[in-house]
């Protein structure tokens, strides 16, 4: 196990060299903006709980956060309403179905099961305390910035692209409403959810999100305490169960770290108490997870000997 600075630097470099150009997958295209992002971009980064930064590749390239935003809104909802209510109203089970599945919702009487699939994420947005739509959005953006960096901001281009094509998510919001699982106006929740997916982040900021979760809620770059440490085990449990959708089980089996992906090509994993490991590259597998990012994050974790289930 090589956990010193040189070891981390070497692991990150090796992961990028081995997998930064790996073949396979294709950009998401159901959101027009994502289809146009250059497929050869790739980056990998580690931010440690002490604020050490290690990175390789296109680390400053800003890409759409997409589903990784679900982790930030879950964090805010947990702060607002507590762990019991989130478990009761949203859930903590893997759905075993694609991230935008309507069938998953129908099979469980309108309970979304996980805050990390679209239905659960839209319901989570509706649980956040807010007097109106703008306050709901500002509080969620503020949480993304606290967990990552003040440079995280909405992209009008991504947002327009998503708002003009998010009919499926609007249908999910109305189904949640019909089932009694929606806690604000459904179109407000869908609008704010769509905006939260449309912020731009870079791979370093994504690793910072992982590091903040790893460091008991203290952002190691700003040194601000932004989350209650009691909620973090629940966030990590949700990530372990559903962070990579129908690949979450394979990921747990192979890598053994809580993680979350987005269809923008980002992926972040958490080594509790130690570091965040993030990677980015647009081409996705069938489940919607970046092919290269999975390989790069898995490689860094394996080289450093981090797997929560390891007894070695």
Cα distances (Å, whole numbers) of residue 129 to 16, 76, 80, 140, 145:
41, 9, 6, 10, 18
Work out how close the CB of 246 gets to ligand GLN at its nearest, in angstroms, rounded to a whole number: 11
Q: Which two tokens stand for residue 16?
A: 């990028």
Nearer CB in complex with ligand GLN: 57/262: 262
Q: What are φ and ψ of residue 139, in 5° steps?
A: -65, -35
Cα distances (Å, whole numbers) of residue 128 to 34, 96, 143, 226:
28, 26, 11, 16
Nearer CB in complex with ligand GLN: 217/282: 282
Nearer CB in complex with ligand GLN: 48/155: 155
CA distance 105 to 95: 9
Q: Which two tokens stand for residue 111?
A: 């309970």
Stated as kind and residue range, the H or E segment containing 225 is none
Nearer CB in complex with ligand GLN: 115/288: 288
Work out how close the CB of 155 gets to ligand GLN at its nearest, in angstroms, rounded to a whole number: 12
142 CB-near residues (< 8 Å, 6+ apart):
none
Nearer CB in complex with ligand GLN: 161/219: 161
Work out how close the CB of 303 gets to ligand GLN at its nearest, in angstroms, rounded to a whole number: 27
Site residues for ligand GLN per CB under 6 A = 66-67, 99-100, 118, 162, 169, 197, 262-263, 288
Work out how close the CB of 50 gets to ligand GLN at its nearest, in angstroms, rounded to a whole number: 30
Work out how close the CB of 42 gets to ligand GLN at its nearest, in angstroms, rounded to a whole number: 18
Work out how close the CB of 34 gets to ligand GLN at its nearest, in angstroms, rounded to a whole number: 9
6 CB-near residues (< 8 Å, 6+ apart):
none
Q: Are 165 and 30 in contact (CB under 8 A)?
A: yes
Q: Which two tokens stand for residue 15?
A: 């992961």
Nearer CB in complex with ligand GLN: 270/275: 270
304 CB-near residues (< 8 Å, 6+ apart):
1, 2, 3, 7, 8, 11, 271
Work out how close the CB of 24 gets to ligand GLN at its nearest, in angstroms, rounded to a whole number: 18
Work out how close the CB of 206 gets to ligand GLN at its nearest, in angstroms, rounded to a whole number: 13
Nearer CB in complex with ligand GLN: 220/264: 264
- Measure CA of the first residue to CA of the last residue in the chain; give whole Å: 11
Which one, of 119, 117, 111, lies nearest residue 248 by Cα? 117
Residue 140 half-sphere exposure toward CB, CA atoms < 13 A: 34
Nearer CB in complex with ligand GLN: 169/202: 169
């Amino acid at each position: 196990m090589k956990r010193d600075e040189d070891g981390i630097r070497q692991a990150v470099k090796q992961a990028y060299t081995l997998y930064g150009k790996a073949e396979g997958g294709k950009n998401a295209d159901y959101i027009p903006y994502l289809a146009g992002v250059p497929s050869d971009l790739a980056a990998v980064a580690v931010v440690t709980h002490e604020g050490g930064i290690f990175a390789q590749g296109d680390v400053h390239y800003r890409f759409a956060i997409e589903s990784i935003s679900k982790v930030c809104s879950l964090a805010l909802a947990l702060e607002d309403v507590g762990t019991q209510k989130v478990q009761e109203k949203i859930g903590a089970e893997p759905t075993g179905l694609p991230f935008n599945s309507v069938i998953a919702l129908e099979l469980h009487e309108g309970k979304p099961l996980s805050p990390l699939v679209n239905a659960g994420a839209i319901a989570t947005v509706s649980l956040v305390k807010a007097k109106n739509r703008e306050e709901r959005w500002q509080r969620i953006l503020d949480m993304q910035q606290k967990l990552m960096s003040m440079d995280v901001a909405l992209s009008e281009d991504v947002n327009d692209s998503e708002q003009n094509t998010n009919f499926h998510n609007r249908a999910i919001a109305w189904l949640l409403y019909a089932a009694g699982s929606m806690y604000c106006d459904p179109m407000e929740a869908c609008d704010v959810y769509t905006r939260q997916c449309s912020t731009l982040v870079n791979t370093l900021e994504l690793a910072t999100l992982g590091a903040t979760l790893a460091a008991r809620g203290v952002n190691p770059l700003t040194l601000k305490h932004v989350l209650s440490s009691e909620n973090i085990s629940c966030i990590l449990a949700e990530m372990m169960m559903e962070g990579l959708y129908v690949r979450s089980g394979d990921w747990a089996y192979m890598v053994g770290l809580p993680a979350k992906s987005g269809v923008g090509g980002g992926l972040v994993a958490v080594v509790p108490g130690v570091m965040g490991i993030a990677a980015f590259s647009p081409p996705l597998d069938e489940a919607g997870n970046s092919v290269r990012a999975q390989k790069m994050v898995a490689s860094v974790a394996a080289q450093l000997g981090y797997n929560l289930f390891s007894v070695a």
